[in-house]
Chain A
Amino acid sequence: MVFLIGLLAVGLSNVSSAHPMPNSVVLLNVHANRIDAEVQIPLSELQAAFGHAVNDSAAHLIDRLGPQLRAYLIQHIRPQSPDGQNWSVSIGKLAVLETQNPINGVYRELMAEVKLVPPIGQVVRQFVFYYDAVLHQVVTHKILVSVRQDWANGLLADNSPAQVGIISLDIVNNRILPLTVSLESGSIWSGFSSMVKLGTKHIAEGTDHLLFLLVLLLPAPLLVTGRSFRRFGWGHFGGVRYSLRHILLIVTAFTIGHSLTLLLGAMEWVRLPSQPVEVLIAVSILVSAIHAARPLFPGREAWVAAGFGLVHGLAFASTLANLQLDAGPMALSILGFNLGIELMQLLIIGLTIPWLMLLSRTPAYRVVRLTGAFLAAIAAIAWVIERITGQPNSLTKGIELVASFTPYGLGVLAVIALLLTWRMKRANQLPA
C-alpha cells in the first residue's frame, strides 16, 4: 500500500506508459555557455552494465567506487556540437539516493552532477547527445532527457521539466542513436520577465510575507496615546497625510530591508539555513500582531519593518540562490524578482489601505484592529510550531485554505468600510 500512496511522487516515470523497470533521467540546467546536468541512474539497472554489484551492496558506494563510476560516466556521456566537436564533460558530486514511484516502488539510484561545456565558439543550445550509460549493455533501458531550467526561455526549476526526448535502443536496426537537442534561443527579456512573474507569484502565494506587512500597517493610520511604554495605546485617526506618510515609510523600510538581504543572499555572500529564517518570519508576524493590539514600538515601525525586512529578504533569496545562475542572469533575476515582489506588494496595499483608512475613522476600527491582530497572532504561533517541528498542523492547513478566499475578504472589507463610513456621516449630519 505504501507504494501506491506515493502517487504524488511520480516524477517523469509516467512518460513511458508501461515500463516496469525504472528509467534513467537526465535533467539539463541550461546556462549561457554551459549545461549543468543532473543524471539519475537506477542502481538495479546500472549493476548489469557497470560490472560491480552496485545494487546488491549500495552502502558507501561512492567511497568505494567513486573513481570507477566517474570514469564510466565520462566514457558514456559524450555530447558533440553539430559539426562533430566533442564537448568537455566533468563529473561533480556523486550520491546514492532512495527514490520511489508507484510503478517501480522504492528503489535506489546514483545521482551525478555532470558539467557539459561546448568548445569555444560553439553554442550551448544545439548539440548531439551521445549518451549510452547502462543502455550499451541493458538494451531494454530508457533514458529520459528533460530541460529542468533554462533561464533565457523563462523555464525555472520549480516548473515541471520539459522533456526533450528519450534515448533508447532502435529496436528495428539494433543500434543506439544519439539524441539531437535543439533548444529555442531564448532572450534576456524572457528570462527577466519570468523573474518578475516569479516575484509576484511569490508574494501572492506567500501568505506569511503579506500578513506581516498588512498587520504592521493595521495601526498605521492611528495616533499613539500615552507617554510612557506602560501607558501607550492606540488613539484616533491621525489624518490622511499622517497615515499616508506613515504607511509609505513602513513599506519603504520593509523594501529596503528585504532588497538588501535578497541581494546578499542571492549572490551567496550570506547564507543562513532556511529553518531559522522561516521561524523568524513567523515570529515577525507575531510581533507586529502584538504591536497592532498595543503599541510596542510607536514611531519606530519603520525600523522594525526594515529589520524584519532583512529576514524576509533571506527567504526570498533562497529561491534565487537555488537557481545557481551565472552573474549576469543573476543580477537581472534579482532585479526582476524584486520588482515582481514590489509590484505585487503595492497592488495589495493599494487595494487594502483605502478601506483600512476609511474604517480607522469610525469607532468600529478598534474591533477590526483587535480581531485582525488576534487572528494574525494565532496564525503566527501555528507557523512557528509548524516550522520548528517540521509538521503541518490543522491550523496552518486551515490558513492555506482561508488564504484562497482572500479576494472575497477584500470585498467584504470594502463593503463594511463604506457602510460604516456612510452611517457615521449620517449620524454626524443629524442635529445634536
Chain B
Amino acid sequence: MKRNILVTSIALALIFSGLAILEACKSTDDTVTPTSTSGTTTTTTSSSAITTTLSATATTTTCASTGVAQIVCLAEAFKATLTTTQLATAQLTYSKTNAQKWSNLPAGLSARIGINLGSLSSTQLAAFRNLMVGLLALGTTNEGYDEMIGNLAADDYLNTIGGGSDYGAGNYYLSFLGTPSTTGLWSILFTGHHYTQPFTFNAGAVTGVTPAFRGTEPQAAVTAANRTYQAFEQERVAFGAMLTGLSTSEQTTAKLSGTYTDLVLGPGQDGKFPATKVGLQVGSLSSDKQALVLSAIKLYVNDLEATTAATVLTKYTSELASTYISYSGTTAMASQGDYVRIDGPSVWIEFSYQGGVIIKNTPHSHSVWRDHTSDYGGN
C-alpha cells in the first residue's frame, strides 16, 4: 500500500515534468521585423473609417454666424451629439495645466485629455468635422484642414506597419477647456501624435493659436480615402528654399555651431525662449529673400481660418525685419539632423528633421510654432 502510493507519486511527477520540458522547448521567437520605407517616393495605401468620414466633402451646418460666435455654435453643436459620459470626458475646466497636456509622442505613450476620435460615431465625427472646418483653412491641398487629415492618415499608416494600436487617427483627442462662450475664457485643444493645435478664446476674441505642433511620419506620401496626402512636405521644401536662397556669407551668419537632434522648445518647454536671438536678421536681406522667410511662416499661420490667420500674419509681417533665422546641419533640410529656426519678436518656429522610431533610418519632421507672448492665449 505504502509502496503503491510512492510509485504513483513518482509516475505522476514524471508526467508533469515531461509536460514542463515540452513547454520549455517551444519556440518563443515571435518578434516582428518592422517594415521600412525609404526616400520620399513610397506611396502607401491605408485608411481608417475615421479619416474616410472626416475627408467627406459635404458640410452641413446650421451655424450661420461668423467669428467666435460661429465657433461657439459649432462647438455646442458637436457637444450636443455626445452622450453624458462622453461630454464629461470632453468638457473640462480651463487651466494652464490642462492646456499644457500635449506632446509629440503617441497618446499611448504620453496621455492626452479629452475625447478620442476612435470613440466617436459617424454622426459625432461629422459634427467634429464641422467644428474643425470652422477653425482651419479649407480648400488648400496639404494645408489647413487638409494637412490635419493627412497627418491622421500618416498615423494610420504607422499603425499598420508595426506601430500598433498606439498609433492611428483614433488616438487623437479633442477637449474643451472652459465652456465655449463669446464672453469668457476657454479653449479648444486638438492633440495627437504628430499634430497639436490649440485655440484660446477670451471675451469673444481669439487670443492664442499656439503652441502648435506639426510633423509627420512617414515624410513620404500616404494614400487614404482615394487621396494622396503628404501633410508636411511643403514646409520642409519651403525651409530648404529659404536657406539655399541665401548667399554663402549669409548662410555662415545663419549657421548655428551646435547640433540639434530635436526641437529646443518642444512640449514641456513653455516660456523658455532664448534671451538673445541668434543667426541672421531678416531685415538685412533683400526683399525676395525676406519673402521666402514669410512664405515659410505662412505655411503655419495660413493653416487657420482666414480671419484669424490674417490678424496673426499682419503682426508677423510687421515684425519681419527684426526676426532672425538660423539653421544647423545642411541647408537642404533633407538629411537627418537638419534643423531650422525662425525667431521674431512674436513668432517662434522650429523645424527638426530627425530619425524615426517606427520607420528606422529614414528622417521625418517635427516642428513647433510658438508665440513669445500669445502661447496659451497669454495665460
Q: Residues of A with Cβ closer than 8 Å to B?
A: 1-4, 16-21, 44-45, 48-49, 102-105, 137-141, 169, 171-174, 233, 293-294, 370, 373-374, 377-378, 381-382, 384-386, 389, 391, 393-396
Contacts and interface: CB of A to CB of B under 8 A. Distances in A.
Contacts of A172: 272-275
Contacts of A103: 105, 109, 357
B9 interface: yes
Interface of B: 2, 5-6, 9, 12-13, 16-17, 19-21, 23-25, 28, 31-32, 34, 103-105, 108-110, 162-164, 166, 258-269, 272-276, 278, 337, 354-355, 357-358, 360, 366
Contacts of A378: 12-13, 16-17
B356 to A, nearest CB: 9
Given A18-B267, A378-B13, A2 B31 contact: yes
B95 to A, nearest CB: 18
Given A18-B266, A381-B17, A391 B28 contact: yes
Contacts of B104: 18, 20
Q: Which of A17, A20, A49, A174 has the most CB of B within 10 A?
A: A20
B13 A377 contact: yes
A18 B9 contact: no
A138 B269 CA distance: 17
Contacts of B110: 17-18
A234 to B, nearest CB: 9
Contact of A293 (B6, B162, B355, B357): B6
Contacts of A102: 109
A169 B20 CA distance: 54
A207 B2 CA distance: 29
Given A20-B366, A382-B17, A396-B20, 9 more contacts: A1-B164, A2-B162, A18-B103, A18-B105, A48-B261, A173-B274, A174-B278, A385-B17, A389-B24
Contacts of A19: 262, 266
B20 A48 contact: no
A395 B16 CA distance: 9
A391 B24 CA distance: 6
A315 B20 CA distance: 24
A419 B24 CA distance: 42
A319 B106 CA distance: 38
Closest 7 CB pairs of A and B: A139-B258, A18-B267, A389-B24, A140-B262, A381-B17, A48-B259, A393-B20
Nearest to A134: B259
Given A18-B105, A173-B275, A370-B5, A382 B16 contact: yes
Contacts of B163: 1, 4
A1 B276 CA distance: 43
A393 B23 contact: yes
Contacts of A377: 9, 13
24 contacts: A1-B162, A1-B164, A3-B34, A3-B358, A4-B108, A20-B104, A103-B105, A104-B357, A137-B258, A137-B259, A139-B258, A139-B264, A140-B260, A140-B264, A141-B261, A172-B273, A370-B5, A370-B9, A378-B16, A381-B16, A381-B17, A389-B21, A389-B24, A393-B23
A373 B16 contact: no
Contacts of A370: 5, 9
Contacts of A391: 23-24, 28
B192 to A, nearest CB: 13
A173 B272 CA distance: 9
B337 A18 contact: no
A389 B274 contact: no
A21 B261 contact: yes
Contacts of A21: 261-262, 354
A169 B109 CA distance: 24
Contact of A385 (B21, B108, B275): B21
Contact of A171 (B32, B259, B264): B264
B238 to A, nearest CB: 22
A218 to B, nearest CB: 14
Contacts of B267: 17-18
Given A17-B110, A140-B264, A382 B9 contact: no
A4 B105 CA distance: 13
A140 B261 contact: yes
Contacts of B162: 1-3
Nearest to B271: A172
B26 to A, nearest CB: 8
Given A103-B109, A378-B16, A385-B21, A171 B261 contact: no
A98 to B, nearest CB: 13
B262 A20 contact: yes
Contacts of B268: 16-18
B105 A20 contact: yes
A228 to B, nearest CB: 16
Contact of B9 (A3, A140, A374, A395): A374
Given A18-B103, A20-B354, A171-B269, A140 B263 contact: yes
Contacts of A2: 31-32, 34, 162
A171 B272 contact: yes
Contacts of A137: 258-259
Contacts of A174: 274-276, 278
A48 B264 CA distance: 17
Given A378-B13, A391-B28, A393-B23, A17 B103 contact: yes
Contact of B13 (A18, A138, A374): A374
Contacts of A4: 108, 163-164, 166
A287 to B, nearest CB: 13
Nearest to B357: A105
Contact of B274 (A171, A381, A382, A396): A171
A198 B259 CA distance: 46
A49 B259 CA distance: 8
Nearest to A173: B275
A173 B273 CA distance: 9
Given A17-B268, A174-B276, A373 B32 contact: no
A294 B269 contact: no
Nearest to A49: B259
A93 to B, nearest CB: 27
